[in-house]
Amino acid sequence: MHRVKVTVIEEALDANNTIATANRADFDRHRVKVVNFMSAPGAGKTTLLEQAARLPGVRLGVLEGDVQGSLDADRLADLHIPVTQLNTAPSFGGECHLDANMVRSSIPALPLDQIDLLVVENVGNLVCPAEFRIGEDARVMICSICEGEDKPLKYPLMFRACELVLINKVDLLPHLEFDLDKLQYNIDQVHPGVRQIVLSARTGEGVEEWRQWLVALVGRAAAPVAA
């Protein structure tokens, strides 16, 4: 019985990967690089996308994933970022993450010929989004210092799944009992050597490094889709 359960989960993830590969083929055909942008709710995803509104030589588009509503999409549209809303309720049962099929359903609405970089803001959640590939070139997460130094140890998959970890809200360090070195050590424990950028969307500290990382991604040679 237990074995059947495991098989079903594996088949579901295989099916997701097959659709992710089809998504990636569509993105590659349009020469659009894709970032899967993940974090716990409120870590600063939309705020850091607002900071990426005008990247030199890069036309940014955003696919905004939320359970419901368009609050974040409205913020980005105010900055003239082309943004497409993807709500998981009601079409996808109010899921707490985006998967490849949900992203596939949005592709006809994306202006792929008018952008170079698509950032998919995933639903705020530190667990499930990391389990589903969507056809991205890179996965990036934010850990804000309000969440505690222990989060890499408690939610390791997200930290392992990403090639870049943004440590946000460091402007709040003087007001919190928070050990930044300990967080960085814990991140390195679960994902040795992963790139980390310490920043504050509030003060702008470190934000230029984040912007440059996005610009460099667009110039990166296409890599095969990871399984």
Ligand X SMILES: Nc1nc2c(ncn2[C@@H]2O[C@H](COP(=O)(O)OP(=O)(O)OP(=O)(O)O)[C@@H](O)[C@H]2O)c(=O)[nH]1
Q: Which does 34 bind (CB under 5 to 8 A by kind): ligand X, Mg ion, none?
A: none
- Regarding 183 and contact with ligand X (CB under 6 A), the answer is no
Q: Any residues with CB less than 8 A from the CB of 97 and at least 6 apart, and which? A: 88, 122, 123, 125, 128, 129, 131, 132
**Smallest gap, in angstroms, from Cβ of residue 212 to ligand X?**
18
User: Pseudo-torsion of CA 158, 31, 77, 56, nearest 10°?
Assistant: 90
- Regarding 72 and contact with Mg ion (CB under 5 A), the answer is yes
Q: Which does 41 bind (CB under 5 to 8 A by kind): Mg ion, ligand X, none?
A: ligand X
Contact stretch for ligand X (CB under 6 A) within 79-87, 112-120, 164-172, 183-191:
164-172
User: Pseudo-torsion of CA 154, 160, 162, 167, nearest 10°?
Assistant: 40
Side chain identity, residue 119: V
Among 106, 76, 112, CA closest to 88 = 106
Residue 66 parent element (H or E)? strand 60-66
- Regarding 64 and contact with Mg ion (CB under 5 A), the answer is no
Q: Which does 169 bind (CB under 5 to 8 A by kind): ligand X, Mg ion, none?
A: ligand X
Contact stretch for Mg ion (CB under 5 A) within 69-77, 142-150, 183-191, 197-205:
69-77
Q: Which residue is nearest to ligand X (CB)?
A: 124
Interacting residue with ligand X among 201, 214, 217, 218 (CB under 6 A) = 201
- Regarding 97 and contact with Mg ion (CB under 5 A), the answer is no
What is the C-alpha to C-alpha distance for residues 34 and 135, in angstroms, rounded to an integer? 8
Residues between 75 and 134 that touch ligand X (CB under 6 A): 124
Residues that bind Mg ion (CB under 5 A): 45-46, 72
